[in-house]
Structure 1
Amino acid sequence: MAGSDKRHASRGTGDNSCTENPTVELGPQRQEDDFKEGGYGWVVVFAVFMLNAHTWGLNSSYAVFLAHYLRTGVFGDSQLGYAFVGGLSISISLLVAPLATVLMGWGRCGTRLTIFIGAVFETIAFVGSSFATELWHILLSQGLSFGVGLGMCFVPSAAVPPQWFVKRRSFASAITASGSGFGGLCYSLATNAMISRVGLPWTFRILAIVCFVVNSAASYFIRDRNKAIGSVHVAFDWRLFKRLPFLLFQAWAFLSLIAYVILVYSIVDYCQSVGLSASQASLAAALFNRIGRPLIGLSSDAVGRLNIANICTLFCGLICMFFWTFAAKGLAACMVFAVLSGSVAGVIWATAAPLCAEIVGIAVIPSALSVTWLVLFLPATFAEASAVALRRPGPGAMYIGAFVFGWALRAWKVGELGEAQLTKEQRELATRDDGVVASLEHGPQAANQKPTSAERRRAVFRGLWAIVRV
């Protein structure tokens, strides 16, 4: 395992990491034979699950806060300003990704301490919000400070579960991602109840206490395998942009996040605008994005990560375009829409790390995700503000656009596997392992028989229509 991991690490840091056809050898012994997955990894999965529940889950509850702000005008009547708070929390969490990546790779800090720092910032955010009297107070606390804490918790923890699994990597990542759904389910209902019973300030203080206790405990139990696999922690590895598949992945993630942010923050206000009460709207938010992620992980491991990511993206786009726009009127329709769209809307969070493994390899995941989160800063910042300003349903078109880039990425992967002329067994290993294929120099083709550019384009074109597990 150590030798294999060193090969992965060298691929991530060398010049070959950014070539059009990155290749590493498939050793005589499979990676899963050397590394017995699971074990303490399941403890890590549970810890990251709880961490996501009390970071992204709490962040999802901002839909309830947003509806309360818009309805009461407690901090003024600037709808655009309120919308920026939610977008700011996500965008800042992505903007601090390079800093979090550097800290987790620094020997004196590491993964655990970086996550604990994030827990402290989140606690400060809720405590500060409890004393807020103006909109800019909320922007600094619930937006900026919470975003820093969210990023410090999320960025280090996202790369850890895939390190403990091979066969069940997508399933493990999906379980951890479903923590945000669990937290959102709990806090979308609890936040609305607490605001009506104890008031807004004490709601923030209760959330601060719970957040600090749970996230601090989770940080203690998270254990990474960075040294064992030779993880590469580069804050911004610009060489990754030399690779077309990485650019396609960024485009898919960019458009997916725009749509997701609009959905997750607008659903409560939308439900109230069609006649639902505040409690009914919070129930719709609780049902949104809560049940689908483990299923996404299971099906990804069985059917293929790129296949499931694209199917979910397309399905959510169609639901948004036809259901939200024309049919979602009334309690039953809103609940159905919340369940259907929510089951697949957060596909980016359930599949981002496994897809990075398909593209760059397991050792380079921290660096690749750091770049990805930084690229997603702009859509996270302006998506909801744009939606509030335009007052038009737009996530459907964004998901459809994301599907186009995602399907192109899938075609590239199918073409790469076809070029290597793998056996059926090798193809199954390549699509389940670190996303690598046999080197052309070591595979069935000789070095002087590498495919030409025209042959490569034909292989990718065939990949657009091929029905394969990838």
Structure 2
Amino acid sequence: MALRPTVVDQQPVELTPISSQDTRVHVETANKQTLDFDDVLDGGYGWVIAAACSVMSMFVGLLYSWGVMQAYLAKQNVASDSTLAFIGSTAVAGVAVFAIISTHLIRIAGTRNASLISCALMTSAQFLSSWITSSIGGLFVTNGVILGLGCSIGFMACSGLPSQYFTRKRGLANGLVYAGNGVGACVFSLLSQALLTRVGIAWTFRVLSFVTVAATLPAALLMKDRARRASASIDLSLFRDPKFVLLFLSSLVATFPLLVPPFFIPLYASSIGISDTLGSILLAVFSLSSAAGRIGFGYLGDIIGPITSLFLTLVVCSVSVLAVWPVSASLAPFVVFVIINGAGNGGFFATMPSVVGHIYGSKRLSTALAMVVSAYSAGYLMGAPVAGFILERYGGNSAGRAAFRPAMYYAGSMSLGSASFILVVRYLATKKKFFSFA
């Protein structure tokens, strides 16, 4: 008779005796529910789960391809740049706003059923949008609120499931899942631009809805829980900890500028004489760079520490916006900006959960992370619209690239401010000099 430790939702439970002939592991959880787990970790069906979650994550990437639609609608004079940016940011903000609601839904209905609901909402949002392309109010509801809720459920469903199937390879599995988001944004940016050119915006929305249901429905059906998830809660006592206050403020400030580049890349490309098609390709490059940044900065965090890695992502974002974007008067420097900023942008989202786990451990991770993610909502909702208002104040996208500079300085300074908060967090967490890499 041997003893093997089993982990449920990243929390250790008591050792359970198994024999060499057993093919199942019998686990009694803290709430006295009995579950049977396949005696397979770091492989087997877990890779199916990772693939299914990656597909679902790809369609959450629909949110970050809105810049292509925004540029098209702006040229049709449907609404101002700031209003159109607000539609896209509403959907992205929904991921954070509905995060706790989504978590409770997943706990009650299970990951598979919640993923099916996500599939239905994302598909419906695209299809309904195809009938109201000239209605700003309608697009706020369909492509803003409904799509945001659907993506929130899908994102939260994918966020915790791989950890039920992987231990030693959990980082790799999560990296593949989160990278799917960047890949999806790339694919849908190119697909949307191609469809807009050939069939117009109404049928573009419809085709996207057909593609969404065709891919996410099978992925949702493959989802399978191994354990009942813990519910995220709110622990106000965390605000007594200076490190948490600074993390919360850093997240609040950092997300204001993060959506400015992906939403404005097509508009800026047009202002310097780049075609709409090439502008959509640049947005796709940004998304691929974001996917690479999620994996790269996540791996870097294992080497130099997650807090230091998070600080570097924010510095990269700030420097690229303040130093590279303003001098991007032609294609070559603009491509450099897109790649660098995309990597830093994606790295932020990959490293923040690691920082929270590093500081508060697995026992408080779900609560602390849910509260930190809730701070994203303000920046998601208002970050790009504020940049849009600034752009309009200086003449709009038709006034040339000089009109974009005040918005660039706004975005870059916000990233720099967020980095300063993280620098203090690192000092409080380590009590060592920053470049000690401890």
TM range (shorter): 0.7 to 0.9
1: distance between equivalents of 2:415 and 2:315? 6
Match of 2:429 in 1: 413
Q: Secondary structure at the match of 1:288?
A: helix
Q: Secondary structure at the match of 1:198?
A: helix
Q: Is the 8 A contact 1:93 1:150 kept in 2?
A: yes
CA 1:134 to 1:152, structure 2 compared with 1: closer, same or farther past 3 Å?
same
2:62 counterpart of 1:51: no
C-alpha displacement at 1:112, in angstroms?
Answer: 2.1
Match of 1:142 in 2: 143
Q: Secondary structure at the match of 2:231?
A: coil
Per-residue CA deviations over 1:275-323 (Å, capped at 9, x if unaligned) read 2111111111010031322222332233332222221221221111100
Percent of paired sites with the same residue = 24
CA 1:162 to 1:7, structure 2 compared with 1: closer, same or farther past 3 Å?
closer
C-alpha displacement at 1:363, in angstroms?
Answer: 4.6
Moved more, 404-413 or 156-165: 156-165
Moved more, 125-134 or 331-340: 331-340
Match of 1:63 in 2: 67
Q: Is the 8 A contact 2:42 2:167 kept in 1?
A: yes
2: distance between equivalents of 1:179 and 1:7? 23
Q: Is the 8 A contact 1:174 1:351 kept in 2?
A: no
Q: Secondary structure at the match of 1:131?
A: coil
CA 1:339 to 1:465, structure 2 compared with 1: closer, same or farther past 3 Å?
closer
1: distance between equivalents of 2:52 and 2:429? 33
Q: How does 1:50-199 map to 2 (within 5 A)?
A: 50-55=55-60, 57-73=61-77, 76-106=78-108, 109-132=109-132, 133-199=134-200
Amino acid in the other structure paired with 1:42: W
Match of 2:34 in 1: none
Q: Secondary structure at the match of 2:178?
A: helix
More strand by share: 2
Match of 2:28 in 1: none
1: distance between equivalents of 2:356 and 2:258? 19
Gaps of 5+ in 2: 14-38, 392-406
1: distance between equivalents of 2:266 and 2:86? 16
Match of 1:467 in 2: 436
1: distance between equivalents of 2:341 and 2:151? 24
Per-residue CA deviations over 1:208-229 (Å, capped at 9, x if unaligned) read 11112222222233344544xx
Match of 2:419 in 1: 403
Amino acid in the other structure paired with 1:65: M
C-alpha displacement at 1:64, in angstroms?
Answer: 0.1
Aligned length: 390
Match of 1:234 in 2: 232
CA 1:366 to 1:9, structure 2 compared with 1: closer, same or farther past 3 Å?
farther
Gaps of 5+ in 1: 11-33, 415-459
RMSD of aligned Cα (Å): 2.5
1: distance between equivalents of 2:365 and 2:221? 22
Tell me the TM-score normalised to structure 1 length: 0.77
2: distance between equivalents of 1:8 and 1:247? 25
Match of 1:450 in 2: none
C-alpha displacement at 1:162, in angstroms?
Answer: 4.1
Match of 2:324 in 1: 323
Per-residue CA deviations over 1:137-167 (Å, capped at 9, x if unaligned) read 1111111111111111112322333454455
Q: Is the 8 A contact 1:9 1:232 kept in 2?
A: no
Tell me the TM-score normalised to structure 2 length: 0.82
Match of 2:30 in 1: none
1: distance between equivalents of 2:169 and 2:428? 24
Match of 2:314 in 1: 313
Per-residue CA deviations over 1:339-361 (Å, capped at 9, x if unaligned) read 12112212232223323321333
Match of 2:376 in 1: 376
Amino acid in the other structure paired with 2:368: A
CA 1:41 to 1:351, structure 2 compared with 1: closer, same or farther past 3 Å?
farther
For 1:252, which of 231, 246, 250 is the aligned residue?
250
Q: Is the 8 A contact 2:253 2:417 kept in 1?
A: yes
2:284 counterpart of 1:286: yes
Q: Is the 8 A contact 1:261 1:384 kept in 2?
A: yes
CA 1:177 to 1:4, structure 2 compared with 1: closer, same or farther past 3 Å?
closer
CA 1:465 to 1:366, structure 2 compared with 1: closer, same or farther past 3 Å?
closer
